[in-house]
Amino acid sequence: MNGGRRIVAYFDAVASRYEQHAGPQAHAAARLAEGVAGLSLPEAPRILEIGCGTGLLTRHLTRLYPRATILASDRSLAMLRVARAHLAGETRLRFVAMDGEAPSVRPGFDLICANLAWQWFAHPLQSVARCRDLLNPGGWLSFSTLGEANFAEWRALCTAHGVAHGLHDYPSLATWRAHLPPNALLSEERHPTEYSSALAFLHALRAIGAQAPAYGHRPLPAGTLRRVLRGQSEKYSSSYHFLYIHLP
Ligand SMILES: C[S@@+](CC[C@H](N)C(=O)[O-])C[C@H]1O[C@@H](n2cnc3c(N)ncnc32)[C@H](O)[C@@H]1O
């Protein structure tokens, strides 16, 4: 199974339970929607959403733009099924299975957006240009993604034990700034999340389908993992590092 398919398989497997564990993702969707609300868009915009998942951001979009035409897409069919159920009755909304890194749609969108899907792309920086080509003049590309300090606590814990953390390395805010045109709007947010233990943190990643390790990472042998987790059975905090990007 290639990297992209493996990632989608993880999301397929958790789709029906995803929202029970997706508090941080819901938070980022709300923050991204706040940013979108501040953009100058037509009253009845054409919107493409990439990696819509179960529709956390989609619900904000339908509320913000009741006259919009929305095409919500994801690679995971199971996620799309759940999103469809949540948004049943929305007549201006269509769902499509599509790889957001190679969007197979005609241009003509006023807004293309994605909440926490971009970090799963094999080429996150390069994917921006492909999406911007699909925008109408005056259109916006708005997305949230993960930054270089995501789960810094887990990285530090693994480093202290001399073992590989297995997390993906994401482009930093500085890298995004250097890559994007100067009129891009970028912001970042640290979002600490409490877990009952470090093991509960790892289980929570699994529950939202986000456990796909970095390319080439081998899962830690059980004994090594036990060593890392020893002494981490009390309350454990790990911080998401969210980046929000709005680009005309
Ligand atoms: C962390 S979830 C976020 C879902 C939703 N946007 C939310 O805010 O809850 C990531 C989503 O991106 C989708 N995804 C990952 N890679 C993708 C790709 N290349 N094209 C489209 N969707 C993708 C996954 O299937 C999953 O639904």
Kindly list the domain boundaries of the chain, sorted by start residue. 3-148+169-191+241-247
Task: Give the tens place of pLDDT for each residue, 33-42.
Answer: 999 999 999 9
**Average pLDDT for 202-218:** 81
Confidence at residue 209, expressed as pLDDT on a 0 to 100 scale: 86
Residue 185 pLDDT > 80: yes
Ligand 1 pocket, residue 14 CB under 6 Å? no
| AA letter at 87 | L
Q: Are 211 and 10 in contact (CB under 8 A)?
A: yes
Ligand 1 pocket, residue 189 CB under 6 Å? no
Q: How far does the centroid of ligand 1 lie from the alpha carbon of residue 25, in Å?
A: 11
**pTM of the predicted model as reported, rounded to 2 decimal places:** 0.95
Tell me the HSE value of 199 on the side-chain side, using a 13 A CA sphere: 11
- List the structure tokens of 180: 């994007």
48, 74, 77, best to mutate for ligand 1 pocket (most atoms within 8 Å of CB):
74
Local confidence band at 229 (pLDDT 50, 70, 90 cut-offs): confident
- Residue 147: alpha-carbon gap to chain centroid: 11
In sequence order, what are the beta bridge partners of 5? none
Q: How far does the centroid of ligand 1 lie from the alpha carbon of residue 235, in Å?
A: 29
Residue 212 pLDDT > 80: no
Residue 139 pLDDT > 70: yes
Number of other CB atoms surrounding residue 175 within 10 Å? 14
Q: How far does the centroid of ligand 1 lie from the alpha carbon of residue 199, in Å?
A: 24
Task: Give the tens place of pLDDT for each residue, 92-106.
Answer: 999 999 999 999 999
Q: Is CATH 1.20.1290.10 the classification given to domain 3-148+169-191+241-247? A: no
When mean pLDDT is compared across 109-113, 126-130, 205-209, the lowest value belongs to: 205-209
R_g over Cα of the chain: 18
**Residue length of the chain:** 248
Confidence at residue 192, expressed as pLDDT on a 0 to 100 scale: 95
Confidence at residue 222, expressed as pLDDT on a 0 to 100 scale: 85
Average pLDDT of the chain is: 94
Edge-to-edge strand list for the sheet holding 109-115: 93-97, 69-74, 46-49, 109-115, 135-146, 236-247, 185-195
Ligand 1 pocket, residue 51 CB under 6 Å? yes
Local confidence band at 228 (pLDDT 50, 70, 90 cut-offs): confident
52, 95, 130, 144, best to mutate for ligand 1 pocket (most atoms within 8 Å of CB):
52
Q: How far does the centroid of ligand 1 lie from the alpha carbon of residue 95, in Å?
A: 13
